[in-house]
Amino acid sequence: MSEEKHHISSYKSHLLVLLALLILTAASVAVTSVEMGAYNTLVAMLLAGAKATLVLLWFMHLRFDNKIYAIFTAFVIVLFLLVLFVTFFDYSYR
Amino acid sequence: MSESTTSSKHVSFLEYKGKYKGLLGWIFSTDHKRVGLLYLYTMLVFFSIAATLGLLMKLQMLAPGHTLMGPQTYNAMFTVHGIIMIFVIVVPGLPAVFGNFFLPLMIGAKDVAFPRLNLASWWIYVIGILVVLSSQFIGGWPDTGWTFYAPYSFQTPVNIVPALVGATIMGFSSILTGINFIVTIHRMRAPGMTWFKMPLFPWTLYATAWIQVLATPVIGITLLLTLMERLLGVGIFDPRLGGDPILYQHLFWIYSHPAVYIMILPGMGVISEIIPVFSRKSIYGYKAIVLSSLAIAFVGYFVWGHHMFTSGMSGRALYAFSFLTFLVAIPSAIKVFNWVSTMHKGSLLLQTPFYWAVSFIFVFMIGGLTGLVLGSLATNVHVHDTYFVVAHFHFIVFGGTGYSFMAAIHYWFPKMFGRMYDRSWANIGWVTFFAGFLSLYTPMFVLGLQGMPRRYYDYLPEFHAWHIFSTLGSILMIAGAAIVIINLVRSSRHGQKTSEKNPWGGKTLEWQADTPPTLENWEEVPTVTQKPYEYK
Q: Do B250 and A87 touch (CB under 8 A)?
A: yes
On whether any CB of chain A is under 8 Å from the CB of B302, the answer is yes
Q: What whole-number distance in Å separates Cα of residue B271 and Cα of residue B144?
A: 35
* Residue ranges of domains in chain B, CATH in brackets: 30-512 (1.20.210.10)
Please, are residues B299 and B324 in contact by the beta-carbon 8 Å criterion?
yes
Q: Do A83 and B320 touch (CB under 8 A)?
A: no
pLDDT confidence of A6, banded at 50, 70, 90?
Answer: low
Q: What is the DSSP letter of B474?
A: H
**What helix, strand, coil percent values describe chain B, rounded to 5?**
70, 0, 30
Q: Do A82 and B301 touch (CB under 8 A)?
A: yes
On whether any CB of chain A is under 8 Å from the CB of B207, the answer is no
Report the 3 state secondary structure along B40-106.
Answer: HHHHHHHHHHHHHHHHHHHHHCCCCCCCCCCHHHHHHHHHHHHHHHHHHHHCCHHHHHHHHHHHHHH
Question: Cβ neighbours of residue B482 under 8 Å, at least 6 residues apart?
Answer: none
Q: What whole-number distance in Å separates Cα of residue B76 and Cα of residue B79?
A: 5
Nearest CA in chain A to B303: A86
CA angle centred on B58, ends B52 and B64, rounded to 5°: 145
Q: How far is CA A11 from CA A8, A21, A52, B23, in A?
A: 10, 15, 19, 52
**Distance to chain A for B190, nearest Cα, Å:** 21
- What is the count of residue pairs from A and B with beta carbons less than 8 Å apart? 40
Q: Do A82 and B302 touch (CB under 8 A)?
A: yes
* Closest to B516 (Cα-Cα) out of B422, B426, B423, B412: B412
Question: Cβ neighbours of residue B21 under 8 Å, at least 6 residues apart?
Answer: none
pLDDT confidence of A2, banded at 50, 70, 90?
Answer: very low
Q: For the stretch B400-439, what's the b/e string if a residue is b when 16 or more beta carbons lie within 10 angstroms of its beta carbon?
A: bbbbbbbbbbbbbbbbbbbbbbbeebbbebbebbbebbbb
Mean pLDDT for chain A overall? 88
Q: For the stretch B27-44, what's the b/e string if a residue is b when 16 or more beta carbons lie within 10 angstroms of its beta carbon?
A: eebbbbbbbbbbbbebbe
Q: What whole-number distance in Å separates Cα of residue B133 and Cα of residue B44?
A: 16
- Mutate which of B213, B250, B306, B325 to test chain A, going by most A C-beta atoms within 10 A? B250
Has residue A9 got a pLDDT over 80?
Answer: no
Q: Do A76 and B302 touch (CB under 8 A)?
A: no
* Closest to B382 (Cα-Cα) out of B394, B372, B392, B374: B374
Has residue A4 got a pLDDT over 60?
Answer: no
pLDDT confidence of A1, banded at 50, 70, 90?
Answer: very low
This prediction has a pTM of 0.93
Q: What whole-number distance in Å separates Cα of residue A85 and Cα of residue A88?
A: 5
Nearest CA in chain A to B311: A90
Query: Between A79, A92, A94, which is nearest B301 by CB?
Result: A79
pLDDT of residue B139: 83
Helices (H), B92-199: 93-94, 100-107, 115-133, 161-187
Nearest CA in chain A to B211: A76
Please, are residues B213 and B179 in contact by the beta-carbon 8 Å criterion?
yes
Peptide bond into B217 cis (omega under 30): no
Can you tell me the ipTM of this complex?
0.85
* Closest to A43 (Cα-Cα) out of A59, A57, A27, A56: A27
pLDDT of residue A17: 95
On whether any CB of chain A is under 8 Å from the CB of B362, the answer is no
Q: What whole-number distance in Å separates Cα of residue B105 and Cα of residue B519?
A: 11
Which of helix, strand or coil describes residue B465? helix
Long-range CB contacts for residues B333-338, cutoff 8 Å, separation at least 24 = B333/B368, B334/B285, B334/B288, B334/B289, B334/B292, B335/B268, B335/B272, B335/B289, B335/B292, B335/B293, B336/B361, B336/B364, B336/B365, B336/B368, B337/B285, B338/B272, B338/B283, B338/B284, B338/B285, B338/B288, B338/B289
Long-range CB contacts for residues B458-462, cutoff 8 Å, separation at least 24 = B458/B64, B458/B65, B458/B66, B458/B71, B459/B61, B459/B64, B460/B64, B461/B64
Query: Between A79, A91, A93, which is nearest B214 by CB?
Result: A79
Q: What does each of the 536 residues of chain B score in pLDDT, given as a tens digit?
A: 456 887 777 889 998 888 888 999 999 999 999 999 999 999 999 999 999 999 999 999 999 999 999 999 999 999 999 999 999 999 999 999 999 999 999 999 999 999 999 999 999 999 999 999 998 888 889 999 999 999 999 889 999 999 999 999 999 999 999 999 999 999 999 999 999 999 999 999 999 999 999 999 999 999 999 999 999 999 999 999 999 999 999 999 999 999 999 999 999 999 999 999 999 999 999 999 999 999 998 999 999 999 999 999 999 999 999 999 999 989 999 999 999 999 999 999 999 999 999 999 999 999 999 999 999 999 999 999 999 999 999 999 999 999 999 999 999 999 999 999 999 999 999 999 999 999 999 999 999 999 999 999 999 999 999 999 999 999 999 999 999 999 999 999 999 999 999 999 999 999 999 999 999 999 889 999 988 888 87
pLDDT of residue B1: 42
On whether any CB of chain A is under 8 Å from the CB of B250, the answer is yes
Q: What whole-number distance in Å separates Cα of residue B162 and Cα of residue B133?
A: 8
Q: How far is CA B424 from CA B307, B402, B429, B488, in A?
A: 42, 20, 9, 12
Which of helix, strand or coil describes residue B420? strand
On whether any CB of chain A is under 8 Å from the CB of B468, the answer is no
On whether any CB of chain A is under 8 Å from the CB of B435, the answer is no
Has residue A3 got a pLDDT over 60?
Answer: no
